[in-house]
């Protein structure tokens, strides 16, 4: 048999996520990645093909982890509380001032120019929307949210809102500013309100 790998693939990807999240794809040099991942050049190309392959793997991993975080937060308290928690989880300068969201980062950096990245982001977005929508339906059934809501549309709005919060966090907004913004945008969902 052959000599086994000396590095842990999961740890290496986790380190790559940090680098990509802070610097973006283009600005993260392979040397940066190798240094932070603690592996040799050949190991990277052997294990991930090339820089883009590593990025795709990192994006997949990040999306899965991010979704899991959101699902947990979403289950908290009332529907409004859970949604607010899911919108804010992982944000704010408390974690890492310079570290951004790989999802938002890749959408902004690549737009629709890379089909594979697009497919990944589209799928991740739909999953998040579905999770939000399910919690909204749940809240409506519990009488916590306005019964007249189009739950899918609300799900999409919440994804938009979360993207905006991530941009604001990356721009330096404080946790309390983010929370206030989230609450204000959520006002329209709670309780029955007169139609104009």
Partner DNA sequence: AACGTTCTGGACTGATCGGTCAAAATTGAT
Partner DNA sequence: ATCAATTTTGACCGATCAGTCCAGAACGTT
Q: Which residues bind its own copies (CB under 8 A)?
A: 22, 24, 26-27, 97-98, 100, 104-105, 107-109, 111-113, 118, 121-122, 125, 150, 153-154, 156-157, 159-165, 167-168, 170-173, 177-178, 180-181, 184-194, 196
For residue 41, the partner it binds in DNA, its own copies, none, with Cβ less than 5 to 8 A by kind, is DNA
For residue 43, the partner it binds in DNA, its own copies, none, with Cβ less than 5 to 8 A by kind, is DNA
Residue 145 β-bridge partners: 190
Contact 17, 40 (CB under 8 A): no
Q: Is residue 65 close enough to count as binding DNA by CB under 7 A?
A: no
Binding residue (CB under 7 A) for DNA from 45, 71, 90, 175: 45
Q: Is residue 31 close enough to count as binding DNA by CB under 7 A?
A: yes
Give 9 or 187: the residue with its C-beta nearer to DNA.
9
Please tell me the total number of residues recorded for the chain in this structure. 196
Dihedral of alpha carbons 76, 79, 85, 86, sign:
positive
For residue 111, the partner it binds in DNA, its own copies, none, with Cβ less than 5 to 8 A by kind, is its own copies
Residue linked to tokens 């973006």: 24
Q: Is 53 exposed, middle or buried (0-12, 13-18, 19+ CB in 10 A)?
A: middle
Q: Is residue 119 close enough to count as binding DNA by CB under 7 A?
A: no
Q: Tokens standing for 113?
A: 């120019």
Q: Kindly state the number of chain residues that form the binding site for DNA, as judged by CB under 7 A.
A: 23
Rounded-to-integer distance, Cα 140 and Cα 118, Å: 32
Among the residues of 38-150, which ranges form H helices?
Answer: 41-48, 51-74, 79-88, 102-110, 115-141
Window contacting DNA (CB under 7 A); options: 35-43, 76-84, 143-151, 156-164 = 35-43
Give 73 or 79: the residue with its C-beta nearer to its own copies.
79
Contact 100, 166 (CB under 8 A): yes
Interface residues with DNA (CB under 7 A) are 1-7, 28-32, 39-43, 45-47, 50-52
């Amino acid at each position: 048999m052959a000599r086994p790998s000396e590095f842990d693939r999961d740890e290496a990807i986790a380190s790559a996520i940090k680098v990509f999240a802070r610097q973006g794809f283009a600005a993260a040099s392979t040397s940066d990645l190798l240094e932070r991942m603690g592996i040799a050049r050949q190991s990277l190309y052997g294990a991930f093909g090339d820089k883009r392959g590593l990025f795709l793997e990192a994006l997949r991993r990040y999306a899965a982890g991010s979704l899991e975080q959101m699902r947990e937060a979403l289950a908290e308290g009332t529907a409004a509380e859970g949604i607010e928690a899911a919108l804010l989880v992982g944000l704010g300068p408390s974690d890492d001032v310079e570290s951004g969201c790989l999802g938002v980062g890749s959408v902004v950096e690549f737009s629709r120019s890379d089909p594979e990245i697009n497919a990944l982001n589209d799928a991740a977005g739909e999953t998040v929307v579905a999770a939000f929508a399910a919690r909204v339906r749940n809240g409506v059934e519990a009488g916590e949210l306005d019964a007249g809501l189009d739950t899918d549309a609300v799900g999409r709005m919440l994804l938009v809102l979360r993207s905006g919060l991530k941009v604001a966090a990356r721009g330096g907004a404080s946790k309390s500013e983010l929370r206030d913004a989230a609450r204000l945008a959520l006002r329209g969902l709670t309780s029955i309100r007169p139609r104009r």
